[in-house]
A and B are shown apart, each in its own frame.
Chain A
Amino acid sequence: MEQEKGETGETNEKGKKKHGSAKKEEKEEDEGKHTVKEEAQEVKKKKHKKVIVTSSEPETSEADDHEDDDNEETEVRPESLSPEELEKLKEAMDERKKLIQSLRGKPWPMKQKLDTLRESQEFVEKHEGALGKGRGRKLYAYKVMMTKKWMKFQRDFENFKTACIPWEMKIKEIESHFGSSVASYFIFLRWMYGINMILFGLTFGLVMVPEALMGKSYGSIPRKTVPRAEEASAMDFAVLWDFGGYAQYSVLFYGYYNNQRAIGWLKFRMPLSYFLVGVGTVAYSYMVVIRTMARNANESGIGDDNSFNFSWKMFTSWDYLIGNPETADNKFASITTSFKEAILEEQESLKDDNIHLTRFLRVLANFLVLCCLAGSGYLIYFVVRRSQKFTLDGLENHTWWERNEVNMVMSLLGMFCPMLFDVISTLENYHPRVALQWQLGRIFALFLGNLYTFIIALMDEINIKREEENIVKFNITMWEASLYNGTLMENSTAPPFTIHPADVPRGPCWETMVGQEFVRLIISDTMMTYITLLIGDFLRAVLVRFLNNCWCWDLEAGFPSYSEFDVSGNVLGLIFNQGMIWMGAFYAPCLPALNVLRLHVSMYLQCWAVMCCNVPQERVFKASGSNNFYMAMLLVILFLSTLPAIYTIVTIPPSFDCGPFSGKKRMFDVIHETLESDFPVWFSKVFSYASNPGLVLPFILLMALAIYYLQSTAKSYKEANVELKKKVQMQNEENKKKNKRAALKAQLDLEEARKAASQAAEQQKNNASPHDQEANVDNGVSQILHHGKNGSNPPPPVRGQECYLPAPVPRTNHRGIHGATGYRPGCPQQSETRMYRVPSLQRH
């Protein structure tokens, strides 16, 4: 078996072990006469193969274990081998071992692979004993058993992990019906679900549960009790739905948490935990997103992305997962369209008429879009101010719409503006892929603008509440003074603990308010999505299906028809939803839990809706091309959503009457406090040295230099790549020229030989019989060829290269003259002697 040139598949150790153990099991089933020993030896081989053998040391240690077993089976003749034979044997062993390692990556049929493996292993096993010494048997047997058990355990664990992946069958079904781009949305959803589970675990386990179990219970202190004024309505569904009442004064929101430094018998540091969990969720999210981006970037081809457009369309556009005839038809149509488009684009890229009109139209379109964005931003701002006025008046006086105006307006804008952008983009006349990117960019800007306007409006409210704080503080001192006046006779130093916590006047809590706003926003966003889904997709499908029988035109093919699954819109919605979670999670620890629930329901609902109401897309867009694009957007959103939270943490002092940081000047003071009281003295000294600007600045400078260095290295590699490619092309051209020249020369020689042969034939025509004539002619021809061949350089018969044909060799069919064509139309792998063979048969 010849080694395939340059094909060493990348084998990871686990893969190899799996391969080995799979084969082991197959052999057990099929052959049935494997002794345990042989299996053990195979196992040992596999364990051994992990190490790329460069010296003989590992061999000898393995061979040591081997010797006792091998004694009865193989011929161990260490003495009978001379040094050169030993060397050759070692080389052969190395080759075999390399073959075994790379076997997985070879494109051979399974039977061939198994035979090779068996043969190589027998060879290695037989001769390894010849190279080593002996060792104890028991230890070796034990090691072998443990290795076998470990491999079995690993394999079972892999199977278990794969079986645990949720919703796998659902996604595969969708994949087969709709192709990989729709399925990629669901895979993205599942990935988000995983992240949110971790965030939920952090906030629930480290923040909500400790406070619920170990903190003071509901009703014990003022901040944990519903104020007397609100008590009457605290249990109403409407209030609860708005997250007021009992929902507000619970572990779900910031305001419930007490600022006691350590709670419970575990001395759990609650404020510190709250702060660190907040920071930790952000850090974890960054890490996961960047790690996924890096992995995606590795898998996709870096470098010259655009240079293989046509070839990729040709070779990689068919999606082998499609099992549904309807989808296949769509795929055919889309492939055809994309071919035609690409061809047209190629032709039209040269001619560029009416550039001025196009440019003007594009500028106009961008201007319109900017107007839209500005308009929507102003609308949101206006609505938020109005809602502030409403809250001042008291919420009960207004209708449901007026109470939920902000959220409704934001959701409606998110629904209608993208359609508007779509219409405007027809002005621009871009290529569909470019148009899609513009569309996504504009929707992104829209959502971002809305979100930030919302936050700015929130900031206004926060400032109002903070001003209110001062007034309330003043009122509280007056109120306490009045209480003291009342009880001055008895315990003047004791606080009036006879007052029920619900009656104590409360300070405003802007953090809880922020948390509540975010929760309300997310709930209304979710509701809007589900309602759009049900009406836009489901109801539409039902109408089209059942009204089609009694309608004038064909509803299914014509106007409404069935809807397609909008991948990019849904992905954007998911990304922005996650952005809102990141923004609000610090102030409302219940947000990750809510999101987990929402994603869970979304998964089932959307899977059902897709299978039931959607048809496969007409233009099937590649999913993976935009994979890193979505990740990049997620990263940007992550950065932008953590900015407001960080700003508020760093600049605004916490409320004095609620939350785990009440009483401190800034929220991050909790770190300082922990360092001082909980850690030994030298630790805080070290920390203060480390945070010294004199140390931090040089460190930052060093990192900047490292980045610059890595970037310049990457650039130089890219240039080297381009150079190598050029070199390959030049080399190929030279080879071709050389081959052409040699072929031409050979052809000339052939012509001469033929001429000489015909002359010789004419001479001998009168003398010899026809029978001898042929033989003589052929002899003459072969002699001349022989001379000719010795003179010229025979073209190198390169193995494995594609068979080139010299300029068409005229195949003579005459009986009289046998053109001894030295070149058969096929790969010239013949040795020189072949050409001299007398051609006795007519060649086809």
Chain B
Amino acid sequence: MGTTASKLGKDLLSEYQSNPFRERICHVFSTSEDKDGSLTFEDFLDLLSAFSDSATLEIKSHYAFRIFDFDDDGTLDRGDLEKLVNCLTGETDDTRLTPEEMRQLISNILEESDIDKDGTVNLSEFQHVISRSPDFVSSFKIVL
């Protein structure tokens, strides 16, 4: 398998330049000690394997959870969800949501997904929501 000499830096991954989660994806799959988000060939294979058609729902939801967990604390709290919404609505100012709307949106989400009402979404709650969704598996896919 690839040596440590062959690394793929974040800037070289032009494939995903239109993906708002490109940095998180690199970060999650990277096993380098520098924590700079660079990928060896093995990491790249792991990435493609998780995003492929034949990956199971558990694998996909596990990695999706890690990608959405911006502060890497094992749960999706309000801060994570806010950053997530901002990623999804684009970078420009006119597409962002107002703080009022953001607050409303996040409380709606927490109301729906947070089963034990602790203010965060953990892995099992996330997986429960995802397993009910009909389009998750088909949209969480990268094919070369």
Instruction: Using CB atoms and an 8 Å cutoff, list the residues of chain A in contact with chain B.
Output: 7, 9-10, 15, 26, 30, 104-107, 109-111, 172, 180, 299-301, 303-305, 307-312, 314-325, 327-329, 332-333, 335-336, 339-340, 342-343, 346-347, 622-625, 728-729, 732-733, 735-736, 802-804
In the bound complex, CA of A802 to CA of B116 (Å): 11
A314 to B81, CA, bound (A): 9
Query: Are A321 and B143 in contact, CB atoms less than 8 angstroms apart?
Result: yes
- In contact, B75 and A320 (Cβ under 8 angstroms): no
Contacts of A104 in B (CB 8 A): 56
Q: Would you give the shortest CB distance from A801 to chain B, in whole angstroms?
A: 8
Contact with A along B15-51 (1 / 0, CB 8 A): 1111111000000000100000000001101100111
Cβ contacts under 8 Å, B81 to chain A: 314
Q: In the bound complex, how far is the Cα of B89 from the Cα of A422, in angstroms?
A: 29
Knowing A180-B138, A301-B131, say if A107 contacts B63 (CB, 8 Å).
yes
| A-side contacts of B6, CB under 8 Å | none
Query: Are A732 and B17 CB-contacts (below 8 A) given A308-B112, A316-B136?
Result: no
B136 touches A315 (CB 8 A): yes
Point out the residues of chain B lying under 8 angstroms from A303, CB to CB. Answer: 132
Q: Does A109 contact B109, Cβ atoms closer than 8 Å? A: no
Q: Which residue of B lies closest to A728 (CB)?
A: B115
Inter-subunit contact A335/B88 (CB<8 Å): yes
From the candidates B88, B120, B122, B141, name the one contacting A314 in the complex (CB within 8 A): B88
Q: Are B134 and A625 in contact (CB under 8 A)?
A: yes
A and B contact pairs by CB, cutoff 8 A, 17 listed: A15-B54, A180-B135, A299-B137, A310-B109, A311-B129, A317-B139, A319-B139, A321-B143, A332-B95, A333-B90, A335-B89, A340-B101, A343-B101, A346-B104, A728-B115, A732-B117, A802-B74
Contact B58 A346 (CB under 8 A): no
Interface residues of B in 102-129 (CB under 8 A from A): 104-105, 108-109, 112-113, 115-118, 120, 122, 126, 129
Q: Which of B51, B58, B84, B97 has the most CB of A within 10 A?
A: B58
Residues of the B chain whose Cβ atoms lie less than 8 Å from the Cβ of A299: 134, 137
Given A110-B49, A314-B84, A323-B16, list of 8 further CB < 8 A pairs?
A105-B56, A307-B112, A315-B129, A315-B130, A319-B139, A335-B88, A336-B96, A622-B135
- Whether A109 touches B46, Cβ cut-off 8 Å, given contacts A320-B142, A335-B89, is yes
What is the chain B residue whose CB lies nearest that of A333? B95
**CB-CB under 8 A for A301 and B134, given A104-B56, A736-B117:** yes
Residue of A nearest to B66 (CB): A107
Instruction: Enumerate chain B residues within 8 angstroms of A335, measured Cβ to Cβ.
Output: 88-89
In the complex, residue of chain A having the shortest beta-carbon distance to the beta carbon of B109: A310
Cα-based distance from A315 to B65 in the complex (angstroms): 9
- Prevailing SS type, chain A contact patch: helix
Q: B1 to A30, Cβ gap below 8 A?
A: yes
User: Is the beta-carbon distance between B97 and A324 smaller than 8 angstroms?
Assistant: no
Which of A10, A316, A318 is B21 in contact with, Cβ under 8 Å? A318
Q: How far is the CB of B35 from chain A (nearest CB, A)?
A: 16
Cβ of B17 to closest chain A Cβ, rounded Å? 7
Chain B residue nearest to A625 (CB atoms) is: B134
Q: Which of A109, A311, A320, A346 contacts B31 (CB 8 A)?
A: A109
Q: Which of B42, B46, B84, B118 meets A736, CB within 8 Å?
A: B118
Contact of B42 among A106, A110, A325, A803 (CB under 8 A): A110
Give the residues in chain B near A321, CB-CB below 8 Å. 139, 141-143
Q: Is the CB of A735 within 8 A of B18?
A: no
Task: List the 6 closest pairs (A to B, CB-CB), nearest first.
Answer: A732-B116, A332-B90, A328-B18, A300-B134, A301-B132, A107-B62
User: What's the least CB distance linking B109 to chain A, in Å?
Assistant: 5
**Is A732 touching B115 in the complex (CB atoms < 8 A)?**
yes
Does B85 lie within 8 Å of A310, measured CB to CB?
A: no
For A335, give the chain B residue with the smallest CB separation.
B88
A661 to B16, CA, bound (A): 63
- Which of B42, B56, B84 makes the CB contact (< 8 A) with A111? B42
Judge whether A180 and B139 touch: CB under 8 Å. Answer: yes
In whole angstroms, what is the CA distance A324 to B14 when docked?
11
A657→B133 CA distance, assembly (Å) = 59
Q: CA–CA, A109 to B113, complex, Å?
A: 28
Please state if A802 and B90 are interface contacts (CB–CB under 8 Å): no
Q: Would A735 and B140 be within 8 Å (CB), given that A325-B18, A332-B89 are in contact?
A: no
From A106, A317, A320, give the contact of B88 (CB < 8 A). Answer: A317
The interface residues of chain A lying within 8 Å CB-to-CB of B64 are 315
- Cα A765 to Cα B87 in complex, Å, equals 58
**Bound form: Cα–Cα A59–B138 in Å:** 40
Q: How far is the CA of A301 from the CA of B132 in the complex (A)?
A: 4
Q: How far is the CA of A539 from the CA of B130 in the complex (A)?
A: 44
Q: With the chains together, A403 CA to B68 CA distance in Å?
A: 64
Question: CA of A180 to CA of B96 in the docked complex: distance in angstroms?
Answer: 24
Residues B59 and A802 in contact, CB atoms below 8 Å apart: no
Residues in B neighbouring A180, C-beta threshold 8 A: 135, 138-139
In the bound complex, how far is the Cα of B68 from the Cα of A310, in angstroms?
15
A314, B104: Cβ atoms closer than 8 Å: no
Can you name the residue of chain B whose Cβ is closest to the Cβ of A302? Answer: B132
Say yes or no: B142 contacts A316, CB within 8 Å: no
Question: Are A320 and B104 interface neighbours, CB within 8 A?
Answer: no
Q: State A787–B48 Cα separation when bound (angstroms).
A: 55
A109: chain B residues at CB < 8 Å are 31, 42-43, 46
Question: Chain B residues with Cβ under 8 A from A319's Cβ?
Answer: 139
Would B112 and A343 count as touching, CB distance under 8 A? no
Considering the chains assembled together, what is the distance between the CA atoms of A335 and B136 in angstroms? Answer: 15
Q: Which of B16, B18, B59, B108 has the most CB of A within 10 A?
A: B18
Is the CB–CB distance between A172 and B117 below 8 Å? no
Q: Distance in Å from the Cβ of A320 to the closest Cβ of chain B?
A: 5
Q: Is the CB of B120 within 8 A of A802?
A: yes
Chain B residue with Cβ nearest A299: B134
> Of the candidates A317, A327, A336, A346, which one forms a contact with B18 in the assembled complex, judged by CB atoms under 8 Å apart?
A327
Least CB separation from B129: chain A residue: A311
Are B105 and A343 interface neighbours, CB within 8 A?
yes
B58 contacts across to A, CB distance below 8 A: 7, 9, 105, 107
Shortest A201–chain B CB gap in Å is: 29
A332 touching B139, Cβ below 8 Å: no
| Shortest beta-carbon distance from B30 to chain A in Å | 10
Residues of B within 8 A of A728 (CB): 115
A760 to chain B, nearest CB (A): 38
Residue of A nearest to B140 (CB): A320
A329 contacts across to B, CB distance below 8 A: 90
Contact B1 A308 (CB under 8 A): no
Partner of A325, one of B17, B132, B142: B17
CA distance A110 to B46 in the complex (A): 6
Chain B residues in 8 Å Cβ range of A7: 58
The CA of A10 and the CA of B122, in the complex, are separated in Å by 22
Q: Which residue of A lies closest to B14 (CB)?
A: A323
A803→B122 CA distance, assembly (Å):
11
In Å, the complex CA distance between A325 and B59 comes to 28
CA distance A261 to B100 in the complex (A): 80
